[in-house]
């Protein structure tokens, strides 16, 4: 499994580039990391920032293993 991480500032075209890559790489999957858990959900669950990132990592791993 090859994992590409597209990183950059807001509004720099990360999602656009990722979607183009998905069309070129036929077996690609796009995972929007910001959608793994919102800051609002993190607050609602009473998680610290660090615990929030741990939960996001757990959810990301679950998606990757599906």
The answer to the question of residue 11 being in a domain is: no
Mean pLDDT computed over every residue of the chain: 90
Q: What pLDDT score was predicted for residue 30?
A: 86
How many separate domains does the chain show?
A: 1
> What is each CA distance from 4 to 16, 45, 48, 50, 54, in whole angstroms?
14, 30, 28, 24, 20
The answer to the question of residue 37 being in a domain is: yes
For residue 57, is pLDDT > 90?
Answer: yes
Confidence of residue 43 (pLDDT cuts 50, 70, 90): very high
Residue 53 sits in which domain range?
33-66
The answer to the question of residue 26 being in a domain is: no
């Amino acid at each position: 499994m090859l994992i590409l991480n597209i990183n950059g500032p807001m509004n720099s075209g990360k999602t656009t580039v990722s979607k183009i890559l998905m069309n070129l790489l036929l077996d690609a999957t796009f995972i929007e990391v910001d959608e793994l858990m919102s800051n609002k959900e993190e607050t609602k669950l009473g998680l610290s920032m660090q615990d929030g990132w741990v939960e996001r990592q757990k959810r990301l791993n679950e998606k990757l293993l599906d």
